[in-house]
């Protein structure tokens, strides 16, 4: 008989089984530690400022579905808004959209992720969106829409599956969803992918103005996780002349670790004229070439025009919900200064894929990205985790499963 590698493997296996008098499990068989339970625990927001951890049956995995064991999920500002006010009217809802985990079961038709990378049981993954019947959302076309036209896990209305958000121990990824294999990134980096994609997208939007360049003077207003990541993205591009503006000394100090050259604490200045003069001084007597507005404050949006030079640019990305109206003077703030303004909201699929390389680059140049995650809570302490987030006791708060 002609012996090939498959024949040899079968013979060796048969001999070993006879010696040990027991079956040797196939390499593709799940380990005992990965045995899939019949039910999953899901943190459901059942009323304002209150989660209940509920138990639901794990559904059968269809040919195009993926079952993921959740390892961790960050708490986003959007989660905070939903926790406090339910602005999207989703209660009861399984939240959590900054999540990641390990594939434990997948349908026979699932072979590759959304970027064409092979997928198998045991791979670490993140999700981006659930495709709707919208041909304008495509992977590698920068001129197409952001994910405003698609659904996202963690912001889905409750249904008979329930395993719809990453604040859980299992999530059910349905056929037609985008999924990315990120097995080459560690858990902390994977938890940060979603918020980092927001800033990769914002910087890509800023670049369309033709104003943001290698030697630009850039002001970043708001040094929560979004503003801090914005600084990191700019720094990985080689931009060094960055001034951070915030009212929290600890956040401003961390902004310098992330790549800001100078910082301005707005609490030290009374009135916008004094504050804009301080920003100008931080740039050595110049106003900013470009600004990123990363807060959800209408007053902050009104003020930021004063930090920008004539012919400069602005990217507004702080308003993920309706935060109210901002007042500007169209003549002084926009027309006479000929400021180029772009808005940014979430990301495209292309930005999501780019983010994986950004995280590797940030680590390579020594930016402390993982230090953004300051608090970790188990799923059963999710209410305390959200209260900690609302109190601004840290930067990025995460739910991490054991």
Distance CA 232, CA 178 (A): 26
Residue 158 pairs in a beta bridge with: none
Average pLDDT for the chain: 89
The whole-model pTM stands at 0.87
- Whether 32-191+371-400 shares its CATH topology with 197-343 is answered no
Lowest mean pLDDT among 132-136, 201-205, 241-245, 304-308: 132-136
Distance CA 65, CA 119 (A): 12
Distance CA 102, CA 65 (A): 14
Q: For residue 136, what pLDDT band results from cuts at 50, 70 and 90? A: low
Query: Which residue is listed with tokens 């700019």?
Result: 234
HSE of 356 in the Cβ direction (CA atoms, 13 Å)?
17
Is the pLDDT reported for residue 366 higher than 90? yes
Q: For residue 278, what pLDDT band results from cuts at 50, 70 and 90? A: very high
The mean per-residue pLDDT over the stretch 19-43 comes to 60
Q: Pick from 257, 267, 66: which is nearest to 172 by CA?
A: 66
The mean per-residue pLDDT over the stretch 149-173 comes to 92
For the beta carbon of residue 87, count every other beta carbon within 10 angstroms. 12
CATH superfamily entry for domain 197-343: NAD(P)-binding Rossmann-like Domain (3.40.50.720)
DSSP result, 226-238: HHHHHHHHHHHTT
pLDDT, tens digit (0-9, with 9 covering 90-100), for 369-396 = 999 999 999 999 999 999 999 998 899 9
Lowest mean pLDDT among 60-74, 119-133, 234-248, 313-327: 119-133
CATH fold for domain 32-191+371-400: Quinone Oxidoreductase; Chain A, domain 1 (3.90.180)
The mean per-residue pLDDT over the stretch 145-158 comes to 78
- Enter the DSSP assignment of 186: -
Q: How far is CA 174 from the centre of its chain?
A: 20
Q: Where are the domains of the chain?
A: 32-191+371-400, 197-343
How much is the pLDDT for 20? 42
Peptide bond into 256 cis (omega under 30): no
């Amino acid at each position: 008989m002609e012996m090939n590698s498959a024949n040899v493997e079968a013979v060796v296996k048969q001999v070993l089984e006879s010696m040990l008098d027991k079956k040797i499990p196939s390499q593709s068989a799940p380990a005992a530690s990965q045995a899939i339970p019949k039910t999953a625990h899901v943190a459901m927001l059942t009323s304002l400022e209150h989660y209940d951890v509920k138990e639901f049956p794990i559904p059968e995995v269809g040919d195009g579905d993926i079952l993921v064991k959740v390892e961790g999920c960050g708490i986003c500002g959007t989660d905070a808004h939903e926790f406090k006010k339910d602005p999207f009217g989703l209660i009861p809802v399984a939240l959590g959209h900054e999540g990641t985990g390990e594939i434990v079961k997948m349908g026979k038709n699932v072979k590759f992720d959304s970027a064409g990378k092979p997928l198998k049981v045991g791979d670490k993954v993140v999700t981006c969106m659930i495709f709707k019947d919208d041909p304008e959302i495509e992977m590698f076309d920068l001129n197409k829409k952001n994910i405003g036209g698609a659904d996202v896990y963690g912001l889905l209305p409750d249904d008979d599956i329930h395993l719809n958000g990453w604040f859980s121990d299992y999530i059910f990824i349905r056929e037609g969803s985008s999924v990315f294999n990120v097995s080459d990134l560690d858990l902390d980096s994977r938890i940060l992918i979603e918020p980092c994609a927001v800033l990769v997208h914002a910087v890509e939007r800023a670049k369309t103005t033709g104003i943001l360049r290698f030697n630009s003077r850039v002001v970043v207003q708001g040094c929560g996780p979004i503003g801090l990541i914005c600084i990191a993205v700019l720094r990985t591009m080689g931009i060094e002349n960055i001034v951070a503006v915030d009212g929290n000394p600890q956040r401003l100090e961390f902004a310098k670790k992330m790549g800001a050259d100078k910082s301005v604490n707005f609490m030290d200045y009374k009135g916008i004229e004094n504050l804009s003069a301080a920003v100008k001084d931080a740039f050595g007597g110049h106003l900013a070439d470009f600004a990123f507005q990363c807060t959800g404050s209408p007053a902050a949006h009104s003020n930021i025009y004063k930090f920008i030079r004539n012919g400069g640019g602005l990217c507004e990305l702080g308003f993920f919900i309706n935060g109210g109206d901002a007042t500007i003077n169209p003549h002084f703030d926009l027309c006479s200064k000929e400021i180029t303004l772009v808005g940014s909201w979430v990301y495209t699929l292309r930005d999501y894929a780019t983010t994986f390389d950004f995280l590797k680059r940030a680590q390579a140049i020594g930016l402390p990205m993982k230090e953004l995650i300051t608090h970790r809570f188990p799923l059963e302490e999710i209410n305390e985790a959200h209260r900690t987030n609302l109190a601004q006791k840290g930067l990025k708060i995460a739910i991490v499963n054991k």
